[in-house]
Amino acid sequence: MRGTAVAVRGERVGSVVLDGNDISALGEEADGLRVATQEVESLEIRENNVSGADAGIAFVASNRNVGGVTVASNTVARSTTGLRVRHDARYFDQDVSLTVLNNTFANNARRGVSVVAEDARLAGFEVRGNRITANGEAGMVLEGHRVEESRIADNRLAENRGDGLAIWTDTVMHNVSVAANRVLDNAGVGLRFDSQLTHAGRLSVTENVVAANAYGVRVSGSLGARILDNTVVHNTYGDGPPVGSPATGPEPESWSKRVTLAQSSRPGAWTRDSQS
């Protein structure tokens, strides 16, 4: 069994930069770049090229708040997962924040980007300018106890074998903005938002192109969601049976008006109230 190429371990990570490494052919049980810690002061992972690993980039943290982590201008391909982040919180009020800029996560066997912090709050996330394509499962998944004060913008999420983007939380999704992304030809839902609570939160989905996915945009449990000025076109399925394919599907649908999702009187149902 081969080991991880570059590993940083310790109770506390001070100022660490992982830059400009070329890593390949590690095998399924070894990560390309791996950081395991309880506390981070400053961590930059940038301009690395990784292929043939388990996680191309892996970050594992526990027990404390995590901030000051930037993942920028890396390329991870032909690995199991592109970017894998795991956080095990001691208390529900612990925070995890991350900046992910201008990376390529492509042709990986599972997820392109996977962030799982089931007992923590994902807050202050910035995910911008990334190319997340042709991965074997979802393009990007963010999963936390709460997801707040975060922005996902100007990314290309295409040709993944699951959802393009999925955000899951078991409490609330609040002040989350998803804007100007190109979400194309994913085998699952293009943009999926799933919050267990139905009485709180604010979600903004604006100016995205969501085309040729199995489903377009799905929002569950987040009152106060706004879906504005998106183009949602040629997605294969609606709420009923299949209605065609990306090549021969329905006429284009452009959501160019203000659209606010509101829960209807029928449990579990949603209506769209539009204004010019």
pLDDT at residue 92 in the model: 58
Are 113 and 86 in contact, with CB atoms under 8 Å apart? no
Is residue 1 pLDDT above 60, yes or no? no
Q: What is the DSSP letter of 52?
A: S
Residues 6+ away with beta carbon under 8 Å from 1: 27, 29, 30
Q: Report the candidate in 154, 167, 158, 166 with the shortest Cα–Cα distance to residue 213.
A: 158
**pTM for this entry:** 0.85
pLDDT of residue 195: 85
For the chain, which residues make up each domain, given as ranges?
6-275
DSSP-based three-state secondary structure for 74: coil
What is the tens place of the pLDDT at every residue in 136-195? 999 999 998 889 999 999 999 999 999 999 999 988 888 999 999 999 999 999 999 998
Note the pLDDT tens digit of each residue in 66-102: 888 999 999 999 999 999 999 886 665 678 889 999 9
Query: Residue length, the chain?
Result: 276
